[in-house]
Amino acid sequence: MNPVVMTLLLAAAWGLFAWQIFRRWRLMTIGPGENRFDQIGTRLRRTWEYAFAQKRMRRYWWAGIAHQLIFTGFVVLLLRTLVLWGRGYSEGFNLWVLGLDQPLGKVYSFLKDLFAVLVIAGTLVFFYYRLVLKPARLSKGFEGILILLIISTMMVADIVYDGASIVRDARAQGGAVAFHGVEPAGSVAAFALGGLSDGAINFLRHAGFWTHSALVLIFLNLLPVSKHFHVVTGIPNVFFQNLSPRGRLPNVPDIEGKLEREETLGLKRIEQLSWKAVLDLYTCTECGRCTDQCPANSTGKLLSPKQLTLDLRDYLYKHEKALVGAKGTNGQGAEGAAEGGMAAVSGNGELPELVPDIIKPEVLWACTTCGACETECPVFITYVDKIVDMRRNLVMEKSEFPAELQNAFRGMETNSNPWSFPASDRAAWTEGLDVPRMAEKPDADVLFWVGCSASFDDRARRIARAMAQLLTAAGVNYAILGEEECCTGDPARRAGNEFLFQMMAQTNAEILNNYKPRTIVASCPHCFNTLANEYPDFGARFRVVHHTEFLAQLVAEGKLKPKNRIDAKVAYHDSCYLGRYNEIYEPPRDTLRAIPGLTVLEPTATRDRGMCCGAGGAQMFKEEEHAREGAKGERVNEKRTDQLLETMPDMVASSCPFCQRMLIDGLAGRGREDVKQFDVAELLWQAVGEA
């Protein structure tokens, strides 16, 4: 076509893109390092499943299909773009193996035409979403429309170029335009263009060629300055996803030393984000699916996971010069910047702190840490770890947190439970039952970890009693810790009091390692998650199962035989820390289905899309945050209760004492005390015990 123009176009566009990527890379690496090169095989497999096969996008029918078509089309048409750039130097260039006179070339030509049409179809779906449906979760503005126009125009230009080329070649050979099976879209275009003059055909051919060739490069340079940067960063972000258990928060090493040295605790300034956390910010597609599923946002709170990410990203971009300059001045990276490097460039000491200057405290304290946002994100952005890390700074460095949490912290510190009940009352629920202690029976096969709620809350104590009676009926060799048991520290850690959590974790780890139980059965998903996924960091590595898993196994083995009918319909509620965090969905349902007469109902929002009860993230011990201006304020537990009541149940079942309390309150708030709330263990004991 024109080697000089093509050379200038490629050199300018790729040079600009390289400079932009260099800037983004430099900004991404201002923070501390993080090793994400472990388990390469698992990372490659998950990258194929979630980045290329786009497993999470399948949750959205039309949008998922359209996105898959566009993504696959771009992969297929990448070779076409290389061919066109090569034809800028030699018109017969076909990457040596993609000519129409070669078998591979015929196959590729057909696929290229097919996917060009499918990409256009995919863009039409998104045009419909943005121009007609206009879902609130999508970011406003013209950028999305512009990108869709570029993509669809590229496809049309490619088809027009092929059509005009077919017409030109047919006329050069003195024949009529014919349909070519290996170029179906181009052939259709050729028939449509067949009546035009030679001059018009030549113009359209050149226009199609240069439009496609140039738009690819324009699109490439729009990526680093737009939300579509995920086209570049999405696959790496999926590859570098967190492979540790989902319920495990990153540990803070040497926290006592940090306190003594008065080092920064938690996430205080933007330059303390790791390179992976910054990559998260780059990768946000602004689809808003995280916010759509957020229970805090859906009930009117200020928290929006999407907006949290965008606020951090925009702040990072805004202060790029200061951040990069500080690193270059110190030569010490993020730590140097954090300890004074910013002073060299900001003029007044340091860049503003993230909270409250960029992120309002109310945003952080509205989070239930339910993980719904992370489950929904197609590119594996994490939010909970960042929120908790900012809470850590507020709690441990500034002592700024909701006043109600002070009582919970004090109770855990002085009485080993967040309600400040005397530790001597921890086993009071066993009255009338023959429940052995580990101190008396250190060789017990199973340690029943009761948890604070089931130890002290009058209603939750029925869960513990039902569980103990089931274990006895099944002939399980078990024992409890009794007064030796302490809160696992989950509320403290999720609330940001990492120091208190680690104190409790170390205490419990010492006790557990003293007894070395073969199996720990926990009736609280929060205890279960902490013991199974976080205590190994403190040297306590044991087999930990949730009580619904253990009960389902006992029923399957015939050690527990439900015989008493419960003729009722029950709506089952998934606990976030059991379901989303640990993917335990079937055991509680299997146990309920084993009860004669019981019909298990599923709410619309269920399993990994089940709405949080509102108790997680230490919300159990504080009041909900106020609703944002203009929003209809609603309590999370009451909205979840409404979803369960839509199934018209006779009762509601759960497998978490926190969930139980929130749902009981929700039913009362809706005036539906006629619908009873039970734990799975309670219902099973009704079916197994003496009628």
Angle at 385 between CA 383 and CA 388, to 5 degrees: 105
Residues 6 or more apart whose CB falls under 8 angstroms from that of 417 comprise 411, 423, 426, 452, 455, 456, 486, 487
- CATH 3.40.309.10 for domain 404-555, yes or no, is no
Q: What is the mean pLDDT of residues 369-391?
A: 97
Q: How confident is the model at residue 339 (pLDDT cuts 50, 70, 90)?
A: very low
Please check whether residue 396 is in contact with residue 265, taking contact to mean a CB–CB distance below 8 angstroms.
yes
Q: Domain limits of the chain?
A: 35-239, 255-397, 404-555, 559-688
Distance separating alpha carbons of residues 283 and 313, to the nearest angstrom: 10
Torsion of Cα atoms, 435 then 440 then 442 then 443, to 10°: -70
> Which contiguous run of DSSP H or E holds residue 544?
strand 543-546
What pLDDT does residue 332 have? 47
Q: What is the mean pLDDT of residues 43-55?
A: 96
pTM for this model (two decimals)? 0.93
The residue type at 357:
D
Q: Which tokens is 510 given?
A: 């010492």
3-state secondary structure of 545: strand
Q: How confident is the model at residue 691 (pLDDT cuts 50, 70, 90)?
A: low
Does pLDDT of 250 surpass 50?
yes
Q: Give residue-wise pLDDT tens across range 169-222.
A: 999 998 899 999 999 999 999 999 999 999 999 999 999 999 999 999 999 999
What pLDDT does residue 335 have? 44
What pLDDT does residue 448 have? 98
Please state, for a pLDDT cut of 90, what percent of the chain lies above it.
91
Within 13 Å of residue 431, how many CA atoms lie on the same side as its CB?
A: 8
Please check whether residue 138 is in contact with residue 286, taking contact to mean a CB–CB distance below 8 angstroms.
yes
What pLDDT does residue 333 have? 45
The residue type at 177:
V
Does pLDDT of 119 surpass 60?
yes
Q: Give residue-wise pLDDT tens across range 214-243.
A: 999 999 999 999 999 999 999 999 999 999
Greater model confidence, 342 or 359: 359
DSSP 114: H
Q: How confident is the model at residue 690 (pLDDT cuts 50, 70, 90)?
A: confident
The residue type at 281:
L
Q: Which tokens is 480 given?
A: 């409890």
The closest alpha carbon to 271, from 602, 30, 485, belongs to: 30
Q: What is the mean pLDDT of residues 70-87?
A: 95
DSSP 579: T
DSSP 572: E
In CATH terms, 559-688 corresponds, of 1.10.1060, 3.30.160, 3.40.50, 1.10.287, to 3.40.50
3-state secondary structure of 352: coil
What pLDDT does residue 539 have? 96
What pLDDT does residue 328 have? 63
Distance separating alpha carbons of residues 28 and 224, to the nearest angstrom: 13
What pLDDT does residue 331 have? 43
Please check whether residue 238 is in contact with residue 46, taking contact to mean a CB–CB distance below 8 angstroms.
yes
Rg of the chain (C-alpha set):
30
Q: Give residue-wise pLDDT tens across range 514-533.
A: 999 999 999 999 999 999 99
Does pLDDT of 499 surpass 70?
yes
Determine the longest span between alpha carbons in the chain, in angstroms.
Answer: 102
Please check whether residue 377 is in contact with residue 384, taking contact to mean a CB–CB distance below 8 angstroms.
no
> Which contiguous run of DSSP H or E holds residue 570?
strand 568-572
What pLDDT does residue 417 have? 97
What pLDDT does residue 633 have? 87
- CATH architecture assigned to 255-397: Orthogonal Bundle (1.10)
Does pLDDT of 24 surpass 70?
yes
What pLDDT does residue 689 have? 87
Does pLDDT of 350 surpass 90?
no
Give the chain's mean pLDDT.
94
Distance separating alpha carbons of residues 503 and 527, to the nearest angstrom: 16
Please check whether residue 524 is in contact with residue 547, taking contact to mean a CB–CB distance below 8 angstroms.
no
Give the range among 143-157, 283-297, 334-348, 349-363 with minimum mean pLDDT.
Answer: 334-348
Q: How confident is the model at residue 140 (pLDDT cuts 50, 70, 90)?
A: confident
Does pLDDT of 276 surpass 60?
yes
Does pLDDT of 334 surpass 70?
no
Please check whether residue 564 is in contact with residue 652, taking contact to mean a CB–CB distance below 8 angstroms.
no
Q: How confident is the model at residue 114 (pLDDT cuts 50, 70, 90)?
A: very high
Q: What is the DSSP secondary-structure string of 391-454?
A: HHIIIIIT--S-THHHHHHHHHHHHSSTT---GGGTTGGGTTS---BTTT-TT-SEEEE--HHH
The angle, 0 to 180 degrees and rounded to 10, between the axes of the packed helices 404-415 and 498-515 is 30
